[in-house]
Copies of this chain bind each other. A is one copy, B any other.
Amino acid sequence: MPTDAELAILAVLWREGPSTVRQVHDALAAEQSTAYTTTLKLMQVMTQKGLLRRDTSQRSYIFRPTRPAARTQKNLVKKLVDAAFEGSAAQLAMRALSTKRASREELEELETMIEKLKAEQGDD
């Protein structure tokens, strides 16, 4: 389970694909301002923890997440649902939608998914 700082790095890698420390650091620089070696150290620790893998065939190593984004997101969501929403995913979903505006397209995509879920369980 990644920490906050680790998640910020994962988010960059999810968005930009496999990257060097320099690339990740520059991407983070927009928001954070930390020393380059801080990002490096974090990514070294993450590699040791098994969160990242790296290709060392180049002088600047290229890092990628070990697990797919969906899997990590799933774990994070499950943790939050259990910790703060009594295990109810729907309650979390409603709180999320009331917190941040979603576009019409996203809302419709979500509706489609709900219909599908209803159809799956509705066989009784």
* Residues of chain A at the chain B interface (Cβ within 8 Å): 4, 7-8, 10-11, 15, 70, 72-74, 76-78, 80-81, 83-104, 106-111, 113-114, 117-118, 121-122
Contacts and interface: CB of A to CB of B under 8 A. Distances in A.
A96 B92 contact: yes
B110 A81 contact: no
Q: Main SS of the interface on chain A?
A: helix
Given A15-B86, A76-B80, A80-B80, A107 B99 contact: no
Nearest to A122: B104
Given A11-B83, A107-B117, A78 B90 contact: no
What are the 4 tightest A-B residue pairs by CB atom distance, in nearest-first order? A90-B106, A93-B93, A89-B100, A90-B102
Contact of A96 (B7, B70, B93, B103): B93
B117 A97 contact: yes
Among A87, A100, A103, A109, the one with the most B-chain Cβ atoms within 10 Å of its Cβ is A100
A108 B101 CA distance: 20
A4 B83 contact: yes
B85 A73 contact: yes
Contacts of A113: 94, 97-98
Nearest to A110: B90
